[in-house]
Amino acid sequence: MSAPGPVRHFRDVTPRRGDCCATHVVHGDVDGSGLELSVVLVEAGGTTGRTVPAGREEVLYVASGTGQLRVEDDHRPLAVDVGALVDGPAEYELSAADGELQVVVVSGLRDPGVACRDVVRTVELSGQDKEPAVSNREFSVLFDPGRGCSGMTQFLGYVPKVRTPRHIHPYDEMLYILRGHGTVEIEGHEVEVGPGDCYYLPRGCVHLVQNTQDDFLVELGIFTPAGSPTQHTPVE
């Protein structure tokens, strides 16, 4: 098993700066999983371009702000809690409206062996069902092969005021804390987390999550290979 990525706030990572944007590359492809997590900040009124190479795909999630996604001639509005998918090879643009646009971007490898439906460009979280998970948690899936994403699953996880059992997953996962506060224990090391914190869990990594507040701890998770977020094995 590879070493887990450290918990770090995206703003603690020196960004790559463009004319009107800053890209914080928080976790790169550390072990061949293909996953790379970045947080892209676009200044008010600004536009930035990104390229998705052949054989890769990117799932996006708007953490704050409003704006627009343009993929060729396809223009889609962006707002908080909207997810998006761009499959390569492709070039796309992110444009911010009146305030800063903050987008969490995870790039991953396409899986040519997985049968996919047609690509769905954007999905609103408000229209997705919540499904049950262990420890009274719930989750909502935004992207997976059912919406044209062959290599990854993107979901929102809702953790009530509870401590999960220690467990492992059969997939590699990038996570971003959207709302709430709590702690994560990764291979026996506990760290406090809050909005903007990111971490990486390679498959087989023993971990647990604890919400220390009354409100939900809400995590954005993206993992490969695609599957169900409920896949886990308790280790206690």
The two tokens of residue 15 are: 């960004």
Least confident range from 3-7, 9-13, 150-154: namely 3-7
pLDDT of residue 136: 87
In this prediction, residues 35-42 reach a mean pLDDT of: 97
pLDDT in tens, 197-211: 999 999 999 999 999
The two tokens of residue 68 are: 């627009």
In this prediction, residues 148-166 reach a mean pLDDT of: 96
pLDDT of residue 29: 78
In this prediction, residues 170-176 reach a mean pLDDT of: 96
pLDDT of residue 85: 98
pTM, rounded to two decimals: 0.96
pLDDT in tens, 81-133: 999 999 999 999 999 999 999 999 999 999 999 999 999 999 999 999 999 98
pLDDT of residue 6: 84
In terms of Cα–Cα distance, which of 16, 22, 31, 27 is closest to 204? 31
> Any idea how long the chain is?
236
Q: Confidence band (pLDDT; 50, 70, 90) for 2? A: low
The domain over range 127-234 is classified in CATH as 3.60.9.10: no
Phi, psi of 160 (to 5 degrees): -75, -175
By three-state DSSP, how is residue 212 classified?
A: coil
Rounded-to-integer distance, Cα 221 and Cα 64, Å: 17
pLDDT of residue 183: 97
Mean pLDDT of the chain: 95
Q: Where are the domains of the chain?
A: 5-124, 127-234
In this prediction, residues 189-196 reach a mean pLDDT of: 96
Q: Which fold has domain 5-124?
A: Jelly Rolls (2.60.120)
pLDDT in tens, 72-90: 999 999 999 999 999 999 9
Bigger pLDDT: 175 or 28? 175
Report the number of secondary-structure helices (H) and strands (E) in the chain: 0, 23
Domains 5-124 and 127-234 equal at CATH topology level: yes
Q: Confidence band (pLDDT; 50, 70, 90) for 3? A: low
